Structure 1
Amino acid sequence: MATTLARPATEPGLRRLRTYRWETPNWIIALASTCVLLAVVLGAFVSVVTSSVRDGVRVIGREAAPQVAATTGLYFALSDMDAQLANVQLAGNDPAMATNRKEALDLYQQRRIEANGALQRIATGDPGDPKIADILDRIGRYESLAGQTTALNDRDRDNGPAGRPSKPALEHHSEATDLMQATLREVRDLTTANHDLLNQTYQDKLDGAVAARAWLWVIGGLLVLALLGLQVFLRVRLRRRLNPAALLATIVVGVTVVIGFTALSAEARDLEVAKANAFDSIVALSQARAVGYDANADESRYLVDSGRTAWYERSFLDKTQSLVTILGAGIADFDQRFDDALRAYHGKNTDVRFGGYFGAEMNNITFAGERDAAERVLTTYQQYQRDDRRIRAMASRGDLRQAIAFCVATTSGSSNYDFAQYDKALTAVIDINQQAFDTAIRDADNELTGWGDLVPLGVPVTVTVLVAAGVWRRVREYR
């Protein structure tokens, strides 16, 4: 007789699990819960992204950028302080240069006030930085030496011609200048550190905005799929053509994702405009302005200190090259080679045959009116360079007084007048970029307003209410 094996009985718990998995109300609740959970995840994600991006905008626009501006402003003020101290030495006791001497002293005091203001802003940003304390100490020592130099110059005003101070005055002035150069190197290091922070923050937040757009599509897409899945399930199981509440929730999520993607894209563009297009030019041009004033001081030092003329001429050329880098050019052939480079540029704007701060700017022209303003800088700087050669030619012929008069005068046709025209043109380009930077930061501040404020709470609540309204009656039908 054949033996029949008995089929093992299904355990009660497994039967309940199978029944639970395939009951329609439970499927509806599971799908609805998935939609709500994804909506909460989307809201939390938007909250984190909004906070991160706004923090980046704050660091770039309200902290790092002002610190960079303060350090470049400090560099400029200190450079011109030393230039004006040299001009006081140049004027000496010559009655014809008394006005120039007074202008130099007044401008020294003005730059001193500006330097103190910049130092206060820098110290506010990082009060515990030992570099700031060291810079403060150096500036204090410099001002003491500058005061002694001026006092000696005043005492010697009845002796010696213009541009030939006494040995004690010249020694104090040389010591003050050397101290200032060391101080300026520290200020440059501080500027570089702050600029590096800005660069890193910008790159991090830009990368974050790009990644956030991708994740927004992923999370939002999953939520939309879950809502569509709920719709399909209700249609198949319950023969319902459409669930208005679930459809409305799908539309809300879709619109939210599209708006968010657009806002994050605009945020990335604003950050790029603010940092890469505007602020990089601001930094380069502000540093160029400070270095230009330091070079102008070298020009005055060249005339006042006959024992260090070769050194100051080399220093002037080095700073000239940092503004307009033309490899291999010296004082003798710089003008001609710069002129050749400008002709090539005017023939084709993309043919920039010089580097340095001005080369960087000409390769980063972005805003309306910027190119014309930048070209004006090159033209006026070219004239100032020609004036420098004229000063050196006068000095080499022994016409020291004439060279000094041409150097320190502020009337039209003089070197300082042409330098002022160059500085005015340079400031105009900085202002164009500063306005663009401020606008981009303001736009970035406002870009996520509304969407970034409403979504974290609004989307989870809205989706929860609509999904609950859409499935509540369907679930009740099984009770």
Structure 2
Amino acid sequence: MATTLVRPAAEPGLRRLSSYRWETPTWIITLSGACVVLAVVLGAFVSAVTSSVREGVRVIGREAAPQVAATTGLYFALSDMDAQLANVLLAGGEPAMAGNRREALDLYQQRRTEATAALQRIAAGDPTDKKVADILDRLGCYESLAGQTTLLNERDNSPAGRPSTAALQRHREATDLMRDILREVRDLTTTNHDLLNQTYQDKHDGATEARGWLWGTGGLLVVALVGLQVFLRARLRRRLNPAILLATILVGGTVVVGSTALSAEARDLKVAKADAFDSIIALSQARSVGYDANADESRYLVDPFRTAQYERTFVDKTLSLVTLLDAGVNDFDDRFDAALRDYRADHTDVGFGGYFGAELHNITFPGERAAAERMLTAFQQYQRDDRHIRAMAARGDLRGAIAFGIGTTPGNSNYDFAQYDNALVAVIDVNQQAFDTAIRDADGELTGWGDLVPLGLPVAVTLLVGAGVWRRVVEYR
């Protein structure tokens, strides 16, 4: 006899749950709601990304980079102030060098004005920075010592390059104080440069990562819209819903345009910071160091008790511009000349480091290489002038060394230094123009797309999806 198994009756609540099936209107409303929610999420994401990237561009282009430029400009102005003070002592009371003396005093005042303006820009960037206040205090002390040096030199009417003991002592105190001030300025430059580097890295990486999130979020929204389109076709036997199709095209276009804009943003940030500003900061620091070295050259002539010290610091600063291992003042010219010949034969062969080596490794823009080579040629000539000055001083022709060293007419050292400085500034200008263009492009890259999408896309998707499904849902009522 067969045994019949009797299944226990299900509880009423479980029977209702097992028999429940979503009907077509419920599916349409759920899928439509998912599309709207994803559109809102995508709009919020675009808003956050746009705000973050624009903030990065603002910090790099309007804050950090100008602050770095201001501190390097301050270093340059202060270095040349001290160089011109030494030149005043070199000219002394010699009637034949009265013009050199007046020119040195005028340049001192010009650099003082530039230093004051640079300090004001730095203070405006961070009014609470105690380092700026400390530099201002120390600079006031320096100017007092410089004024005393000049007055003593005028009173004593000393011969060229041989100031009185009192004037020389004040000059040493002023120069030593300037060393401390310049160290503080270097610290400021390092702090601002670190901020610039960190901001660039964060925003460049953020723009790159945002592209992935944009494709992911936008892709989900496209999938949801396509899913809604497929569902409507399967359940309602309709070939195509024009409103849903338009919403899908709109979202897809937004993702493509947004991805392109973020790629362009990352590229502009790279051009601005890595390609252009890294060269600007290296060359600006090189310019400051060059003026400081030129001051050491004048100090070498004016202070016979510190000649070895000032020759050593001149060589150290020269090697920070063009680093050649174990090079000294006697063999630098020949080794640098050989390295330049190798470089001109093969632009990948940069046989020296330092600021100028860094620039040659970062040649990026049209005309930059030719400008850099002109700068290096002019720098070679200035270095040869330095050896000539030292040779004249060594054989006892101090007056001839001074006249050649501070002379600003063709054939003299300071004239050649000015030619070198002009050539260096020309390379900076090439990179500055590229930096300004890249920041301007980055600032406008997200304009339009970044302004319209956060609100416009959710509203458009909501309206189009609503228009596409409204009549379908009503049919079931």
Under TM normalisation by the shorter chain, which class is it?
Answer: over 0.9
Name the counterpart of 2:74.
Answer: 74
The 2-side partners of 1:289 and 1:221 are apart by: 51
Paired position in structure 1 for 2:12: 11
SS at match of 2:128: coil
Counterpart in the other structure of 2:28: 28
1:29-85 superposed Cα distances (whole Å, 9 cap, x missing partner): 111001000000000000000000000000000000000000000000000000000
Q: State the alpha-carbon separation in 1 of the partners of residues 40 and 424 from structure 2.
A: 52
How many angstroms does 1:17 deviate by? 7.7
- Aligned to 1:366, what secondary structure does the other structure show? coil
Q: What's 2:210 paired with? A: 212
Instruction: Note if 1:267 corresponds to 2:265.
Output: yes
- Specify the alignment match of 1:46 in structure 2: 46
**Distance in 1 separating the partners of 2:474 and 2:180:** 82
Distance change >3 Å, CA 14–CA 30, structure 1 → 2:
farther
TM-superposition CA deviations, 1:178-218 (whole Å, max 9, x none): 11011101101100100000000000001100110000000
Unaligned runs of 5+ residues in structure 2 are none
Cα deviation, residue 249, structure 1: 0.3
Give the Cα–Cα distance (whole angstroms) in 1 for the partners of residues 38 and 335 of structure 2: 65
Find 2:334's aligned residue among 316, 333, 336.
336
TM alignment of 1:255-404, pairs within 5 A? 255-404=253-402
Q: Which runs of 5+ in 1 are unaligned?
A: none
* Cα distance in 1, alignment partners of residues 10 and 418 from structure 2: 100
Q: Report the counterpart of residue 123 of structure 1 in structure 2.
A: 123
Question: How far did residue 478 of structure 1 move?
Answer: 1.0
| Shift of residue 7, structure 1, vs aligned partner | 3.6
Q: Distance in 2 between matches of 1:284 and 1:414?
A: 27
Instruction: Quote the residue 1:97 is aligned against.
Output: 97
Offset at residue 14 of structure 1 (A):
6.1
2:282 and 2:294 map into 1 onto residues whose CA distance is 18
1:451 counterpart residue number? 449
> What CA deviation, in whole Å up to 9, does each residue of 1:411-453 have, x standing for no partner?
0010000000000000011111111000000000000000000
Q: Which amino acid aligns with 2:99?
A: T
SS at match of 2:247: helix
Q: Tell me by how many angstroms 1:16 deviates.
A: 5.5
**Map of 1:185 onto structure 2:** 183
Query: In the aligned structure 2, how far is the partner of 1:202 from the partner of 1:366?
Result: 18
* CA-CA distance at 1:4 after TM superposition: 5.2
Offset, 1:6: 4.7
Deviations 1:261-299 (A, max 9, x none): 000000000000000000000000000000000000000
**Separation (CA, whole Å) in 2 of partners of 1:291 and 1:11:** 90
Residue 85 (structure 1) aligns with: 85
Residue of structure 2 equivalent to 1:174: 172
Letter in structure 1 aligned against 2:247: A
**1:13 shift after superposition:** 6.9
Q: Distance in 2 between matches of 1:13 and 1:58?
A: 61
* AA matched with 1:281: S
Matched residue type, 2:152: L
Letter in 1 for 2:276: A
What secondary structure sits across from 2:326 in the alignment?
A: coil
Q: What's the Cα RMSD here?
A: 1.1
Give 1:208's aligned amino acid.
G
Change (3 A) 1:463 1:372: same
1:279-328 deviation line (CA, Å, top 9, x unaligned): 00000000000000000000000000000000000000000001010110
- Give 1:130 deviation, angstroms: 1.2
Structure 1 counterpart of 2:407: 409
Q: Which amino acid aligns with 2:334?
A: Q
Amino acid at match of 1:227: L
Q: Which amino acid aligns with 1:178?
A: D
1:10 CA drift (Å): 4.9
Q: How far apart in 2 are the matches of 1:18 and 1:216?
A: 41
Are 1:476 and 2:464 matched, yes or no? no
Q: Partner letter of residue 35 of structure 1?
A: C
Rounded to whole Å, the distance in 2 between the matches of 1:462 and 1:29 is: 17
SS of the residue corresponding to residue 234 of structure 1 reads: helix
* Alignment of 1:226 onto 2:224: yes
Structure 2 letter corresponding to 1:231: Q
Give the match's secondary structure for 1:127: coil
Q: How many Å separate the matches in 1 of 2:242 and 2:393?
A: 90
Aligned-pair CA distance for 1:5: 2.8
Instruction: Please report the TM-score for the alignment, with normalisation by the length of structure 2.
Output: 0.98
Kindly state the Cα deviation for residue 15 of structure 1 after the two structures are TM-superposed.
2.2
Aligned equivalents of 2:272, 2:286: Cα separation in 1: 20
The alpha carbon displacement at 1:8 in A equals 2.0
Q: Could you say which residue in structure 2 is the equivalent of 1:153?
A: 153
| Equivalent-residue separation in structure 2 for 1:433 and 1:16 (angstroms) | 71
Determine the C-alpha separation between the residues in 1 that align with 2:201 and 2:19: 52
Aligned to 2:201: 203
Once the two structures are TM-superposed, the CA of residue 134 in structure 1 deviates from its matched residue by 1.1
Distance 1:151 1:4 in 2: 121
Q: Pairwise mapping of residues 429-468 of structure 1 onto structure 2 (< 5 A)?
A: 429-468=427-466
Q: Tell me the SS of whatever aligns to 1:22.
A: coil
2:387 maps to amino acid: R
SS in 2 for 1:93: coil
Deviations 1:372-393 (A, max 9, x none): 0000110000000000000000
After superposition, the C-alpha distances for 1:307-361 in whole angstroms (9 at most, x for unaligned) are 0000000000000001010110000000000001000001101100010000000
Aligned counterpart, 1:140:
140
Q: Which amino acid aligns with 1:329?
A: A
CA distance in 1, matches of 2:337, 2:19: 87
Number of aligned positions between the proteins: 476
CA distance in 2, matches of 1:281, 1:35: 48
Identity of aligned residues (%): 77
Q: 2:134 and 2:396 mapped to 1: Cα distance?
A: 42
CA, structure 1 residues 181+370, in 2 after alignment: closer, same or farther (shift >3 Å)? same
Partner of 1:413: helix, strand, or coil? coil
Deviations 1:71-119 (A, max 9, x none): 0000000000000000000000111100000000000000000000000
